[in-house]
């Protein structure tokens, strides 16, 4: 199965992919009134597991709260809805896209008359910037587009409207022959990619822009900061001038879609040795070891989707023991 197949959760009901439609007059189509998430379920040796499910669902609820768009599901409800949809589709590994949006009733800027609807889509999504990129790194440019100014479109909300800006960044980068664009904030400091947070490495220490630099509070960003500190690296959230990118030893971007992807050049200036650096490689390995279930999940980041065979067996043993 891939994009275009399976069932989609819509307001609590599973509907066939081709029937998961909304009316052209839905508020979200005209006014960008939606908030969403992007998470991943990985096929680990211990079974399928969603990476940081609760953090993604909390961010979804917070994005909805910022837009006065509360949906009648709490964290447990969202967790069950996502896990139930994966189980219904029998996915081992998939990308998870929950969305909460203003639906169909009437049109006008005021969204409050429209219903708040929700859906959960699943599909197969490989390495976002290409499998080769994970090892070779990608060539990027600093975008001529800035990220949203503070107090305009809130960067902490993962809102569909923010992705109008992301699309401008991405299209410009592709048109100019790059894989991705890195945007500055309106003060000229480094912000983030069109769909990834960014890190630099200098003399073995890591730096990443603070949340005040118009970045999304990325869940991979948080995981990478934690893993880096576990490995003994110092990590500083600091405003980064554009030129600090060019003279960094290593630069990499992180996100649910991009995972941990090295950058080998920016504006045609070669970064470090022009290939994945040792710190990026160590963090990539640490990240992939967790998501592939190859090391103990010490941070409690994995939510297993299907009851494992061993736990099923122990339930059977317990049931037999009770009956006996």
Ligand X SMILES: Cc1ncc(COP(=O)(O)O)c(C=O)c1O
- Check residue 255 for interaction with ligand X (CB under 6 A): yes
Q: How far is CA 132 from the centre of its chain?
A: 20
Which range binds ligand X by CB under 6 A, 2-10, 61-69, 190-198, 311-319? 190-198
- Check residue 141 for interaction with ligand X (CB under 6 A): no
Question: Percent helix, strand and coil across the chain, each rounded to 5?
Answer: 35, 30, 40
Token reading at 308: 């494992």
Q: Which of 197, 200, 208, 284 binds ligand X (CB under 6 A)?
A: 197
Tell me the closest approach of the beta carbon of residue 256 to ligand X, in angstroms: 3
Question: Alpha helix (H) ranges present in the chain?
Answer: 27-31, 53-66, 75-89, 131-136, 162-175, 219-230, 242-246, 278-291, 309-323
Q: How far is CA 303 from CA 32, 56, 278, in A?
A: 31, 12, 30
- Check residue 277 for interaction with ligand X (CB under 6 A): no
Q: Which of 34, 137, 218, 277 binds ligand X (CB under 6 A)?
A: 218
d(CA 207, CA 238): 7
Which range binds ligand X by CB under 6 A, 42-50, 97-105, 194-202, 230-238? 194-202
- Check residue 262 for interaction with ligand X (CB under 6 A): no
The catalytic position among 18, 46, 90, 158 is 158
- Check residue 38 for interaction with ligand X (CB under 6 A): yes
Q: Which of 196, 214, 261, 303 binds ligand X (CB under 6 A)?
A: 196
A 10 A CB-CB count for 227 gives 21
Active site residues: 158
**Interface ranges with ligand X (CB under 6 A):** 38, 166, 192, 195-197, 216, 218-221, 255-256
């Amino acid at each position: 199965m891939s994009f275009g197949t399976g069932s989609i959760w819509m307001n609590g009901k599973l509907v066939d992919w081709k029937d998961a439609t909304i009316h052209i007059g839905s508020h979200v189509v005209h006014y960008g009134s939606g908030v969403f998430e992007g998470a991943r379920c990985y096929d680990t040796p211990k079974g399928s597991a969603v990476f940081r499910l609760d953090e993604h669902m909390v961010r979804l609820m917070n994005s909805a709260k910022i837009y006065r768009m509360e949906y009648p599901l709490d964290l447990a409800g969202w967790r069950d809805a996502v896990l139930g949809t994966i189980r219904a589709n029998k996915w081992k590994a998939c990308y998870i896209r929950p969305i909460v949006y203003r639906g169909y009733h009437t049109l006008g800027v005021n969204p409050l008359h429209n219903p708040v609807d929700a859906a959960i889509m699943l599909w197969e999504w490989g390495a976002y910037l290409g499998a080769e990129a994970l090892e070779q790194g990608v060539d990027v440019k600093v975008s001529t587009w800035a990220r949203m100014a503070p107090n305009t479109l809130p960067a902490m909300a993962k809102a569909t409207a923010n992705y109008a800006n992301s699309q401008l960044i991405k299209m410009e980068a592709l048109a100019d022959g790059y894989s991705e664009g890195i945007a500055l904030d309106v003060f000229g400091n480094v912000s983030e990619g069109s769909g990834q947070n960014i890190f630099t490495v200098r003399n073995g220490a890591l730096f990443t822009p603070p949340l005040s630099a118009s970045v999304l509070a990325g869940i991979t960003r948080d995981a990478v900061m934690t893993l880096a500190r576990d490995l003994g690296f110092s990590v500083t959230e600091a405003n980064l001038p554009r030129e600090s990118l060019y003279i960094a030893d290593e630069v990499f971007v992180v996100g649910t879609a991009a995972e941990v992807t090295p950058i080998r050049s920016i504006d045609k200036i070669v970064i470090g040795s022009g290939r994945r650096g040792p710190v990026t490689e160590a963090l990539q390995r640490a990240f992939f070891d967790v998501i592939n279930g190859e090391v103990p999940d010490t941070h409690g980041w994995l939510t297993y989707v299907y009851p494992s065979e061993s736990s099923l067996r122990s339930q059977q043993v317990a049931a037999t023991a009770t009956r006996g």
